[in-house]
Amino acid sequence: MSRNHLLAALLVTVAGPAWLFGAGTVSGKVTYTGTPAKQKTIDMSKEPSCAKQHATPITTETVVTGPSNVLENVVVYISAGAADESSAPAQAVTFTQKGCQYIPHVLAMRTGQELKVVNDDQTSHNIHPLAKVNHEWNKSQPPGTPPLSEKFEKEEFIPVKCNVHPWMRGYFAVLKTSHYAITADNGDFSLPNLPPGKYTITAWQEDYGTQTQDVTISGSETKTVDFTFKAKPY
C-alpha cells in the first residue's frame, strides 16, 4: 500500500461522516393545480367540552392550502439513496388531542422512535391507528390519564382515528429515514445535512398520494425541488 493510499484510508477512517466533505440541502415548495375539494365544517355539538374550545367551528384537514396554491401537511422525505441510519432518535415525538382535534394533523417519526400520545381534553378519546403493515391497536385514554407511549417498527403512513369522535382523523408518517420535513403553511420544506450522492425525494399528501423526483447532491449546495399535485375536484 502506498503512502497516499494509507493517508486516504486514514482520512476516511478519521473523517468518517460524509458531512465533513460538505453537506447539501434539498429545499422547495409544494403546490397544487386545479380546485381542491371544499373542507367540511365539523359539528362538535355532541361534545360540548370540545366545541367551546373553538370560537369558530373547525373544518376537516384532508387538504390544507395557503395563498398562491401552496399545500400544507405534505410529508417530504428521502425514500432512496440516504445512508442507513441505524438507531431512532432518543427524543419522543408528541401527538396531542386538544379540542377534539389532533395536533399536529400529520405527525412524522422514525421507525422505532418513541411516540407520546397526550389527551388535553375533558373527554375520553380512543387512539386507534389503522395500521396495515404495522399492528393495528386501539387504546382508551380518559381525561387526566398519563400520556401513552408507543412505537412503530415498520415504514408506513397510518391513518389514526377516534371512534368516540368520528370527525377526528390524523396520520402517523413512520419513516426509515431521519431526512424528512412536513410542509408549513407557506408550502416550504427543507432537507438539510445531505452528504453528496443521488437521492430520491418523495412527497406524500394524504388525499393526493405520492410523487417522486431524483436529485444529485455533489457538495455543499442547495438544490431546489418543487412538487405540484393535481387537486381532486370533489
128 near other proteins, judged by CB under 8 A? yes
Q: Closer CB to other proteins, residue 42 or residue 191?
A: 42
179 near other proteins, judged by CB under 8 A? no
139 near other proteins, judged by CB under 8 A? yes
- Binders of other proteins among 105-124, rule CB under 8 A? 122-124
166 near other proteins, judged by CB under 8 A? yes
207 near other proteins, judged by CB under 8 A? no
132 near other proteins, judged by CB under 8 A? yes
Task: Characterize the bridge pairing of strands 125-129 and 188-194.
Answer: unpaired
40 near other proteins, judged by CB under 8 A? no
| Binding track over 143-162 against other proteins, x by CB under 8 A | --x--x--------------
Q: How far is CA 44 from CA 12, 50, 90, 159, in A?
A: 59, 7, 37, 21
98 near other proteins, judged by CB under 8 A? no
* The only residue of 40, 98, 135, 198 in contact with other proteins, by rule CB under 8 A: 135
23 near other proteins, judged by CB under 8 A? no
Quickly tell me which residue has 397510518 as its cell. 158
CB of 153 to other proteins, least distance (A): 10
What is the identity of the amino acid at 107? Answer: L
CB of 223 to other proteins, least distance (A): 38
Name the 3-class secondary structure at 232. Answer: coil
CA 85, chain centre distance (Å): 17
Name the 3-class secondary structure at 100. Answer: coil
Which spans in the chain are helix H?
A: 3-15, 48-51
Q: How many CB atoms lie within 10 A of CB 230?
A: 11
End-to-end CA distance of the chain: 67
Q: Which three cell numbers stand for residue 30?
A: 409544494
Q: How many residues bind other proteins (CB under 8 A)?
A: 24
Q: Which three cell numbers stand for residue 142?
A: 380518559
CB of 5 to other proteins, least distance (A): 43
Backbone angles phi, psi at 131, to 5 degrees: -75, 145
| Site for other proteins, rule CB under 8 A | 46, 49, 122-124, 126-128, 130, 132, 135-142, 145, 148, 163-166
